[in-house]
Amino acid sequence: MKEDKLICPGCGAGIQTQDPEKPGYVPPAALNREIVVCMRCFRLQHYNEVQEIPLRNTDFTNQLHDLAKEDALIVKIVDAFDIEGSWIPGFQRYIGRNDVLLLVNKMDLLPKSINENRLKDWIRREAKEQGLKPADIMLMSAEKKQSVEKAAAKMDELRHGKDVYITGCTNVGKSTFINALIEAFSGDEEQRITASGYPGTTLDLIDIPLDDGRSMYDTPGIINERQMAHYVSRSDLKTLTPSREIKPRIYQLEEKQTLFIGGLARMDFNEGSRNSFVMYVDNDLLIHRTKLDNADTLYENQKGEMLSPPGRETLDEMPAFAEHTFHIKQPKMDIVISGLGWITVVEPDAVVTVYAPKGTGVTIREAVI
């Protein structure tokens, strides 16, 4: 087989032996292996080391545009913990008239008390506002293998013998989902693709053959620049990304009090009667309460130290805070910090200011829990 015909089964990049800095590189001797995996995927799989490769989001969105020309089932995966940040803006125009199955992944991170029917109704309304009417919505956890086989059955029902394209933003769990399908239905470890907790693991279309001669394709993750993952270091990303069920933390605040979420975000309660604020962030992140009058000084003295992540070594990699002020007029509203979590403001008539790294999406919605 010629070198230019080889494709890395882990990330979809074409295999090449010339440039170690570019996607698909392998040492020439590795071409003799039965299965040729690029150096980047090999080191990621075995050592959890990530090689930085310059990626242009337009390369990936151009591939999405091509889906409108296909007659296929489109599976769109969103992150249950970061629905707003894992949505692909303008998705409907990319996919034409193809049916869409919307899979809400990482349900294992949400508190078990969540009302799943209410969540699905809310997601359906959000999808409609974005111009998308999915054929169905399913909740699952690819990591925990929850409802993966049900999702596969629904895919088979909706595809009507067509190809399937798995789409989504970076880090929503597309590759983890496909690996769970491979494990459930073929048991062939050699077909597994590279999955990681870092954005941009899949670099090109990966073709997984189906039993009827059709294919399922893993597509590269689309970069939504509102996610905090794009504004912190890789080491800090590990500490802010939950890996187990979130435990809500409740704080009773008086007016003119502040909560810090490590050194990643800050919430000021500017005006209002005594109120409850419920924090839904990674369980290990420090939440520190202080008086609003002391907040600026505390941050300057403790950022990278008590207020971490980011730590001292990675503090300079994070942009300065941008300010977002909300006048909460309804009870039980969520202030969402994309990729970090959300804060439920329980009582109405509150003025709240949230600070997060510039570029990170900060939005308000009705409470989902």
Whether residue 310 has a cis bond before it, omega within 30° of 0: yes
What range does the domain containing 122 cover?
57-224
Same domain, 245 and 353: yes
Please provide the DSSP assignment of 63-80 as one string. Answer: HHHGGGGS-EEEEEEEET
Q: Is residue 156 part of a domain?
A: yes
Predicted confidence (pLDDT) at residue 3 exceeds the cutoff of 80:
no
Same domain, 37 and 91: no
Between CA 77 and CA 343 the distance in angstroms is 24
Predicted confidence (pLDDT) at residue 161 exceeds the cutoff of 50:
yes
Residue, of 325 and 131, whose pLDDT is higher: 325
With beta carbons less than 8 A apart as the criterion, state whether 11 and 201 touch: yes
Phi-psi region at 321: left, alpha or beta (left = phi > 0; alpha = psi -120 to 50): beta
Structure token pair of residue 254: 């008086």
Rounded (10°) angle between helices 148-159 and 174-185: 90
Same domain, 300 and 335: yes
Same domain, 200 and 252: no
Predicted confidence (pLDDT) at residue 62 exceeds the cutoff of 70:
no
Same domain, 114 and 164: yes
Same domain, 207 and 61: yes
Same domain, 214 and 269: no
Same domain, 245 and 330: yes
Same domain, 203 and 62: yes
Please provide the DSSP assignment of 131-163 as one string. Answer: T---SEEEE-BTTTTBSHHHHHHHHHHHHTT-E
In 3D space, the residue among 180, 230, 237, 171 whose CA is nearest the CA of residue 201 turns out to be 171
Q: Is residue 168 part of a domain?
A: yes
Structural domain total, the chain: 3
Between CA 184 and CA 169 the distance in angstroms is 24
CA quadruple 223, 228, 229, 230: dihedral positive or negative? positive
Same domain, 73 and 216: yes
Q: 212-254, pLDDT tens digit by residue?
A: 888 888 887 777 888 898 889 888 888 888 999 999 999 999 9
User: Where a domain ends, among 193, 224, 255?
Assistant: 224
Write down the pLDDT at residue 44. 66
Same domain, 177 and 323: no
User: Where a domain ends, among 224, 254, 270?
Assistant: 224
Which of 199-203, 206-210, 330-334 has the least mean pLDDT?
199-203
* CATH number of 89's domain: 3.40.50.300
Same domain, 244 and 216: no
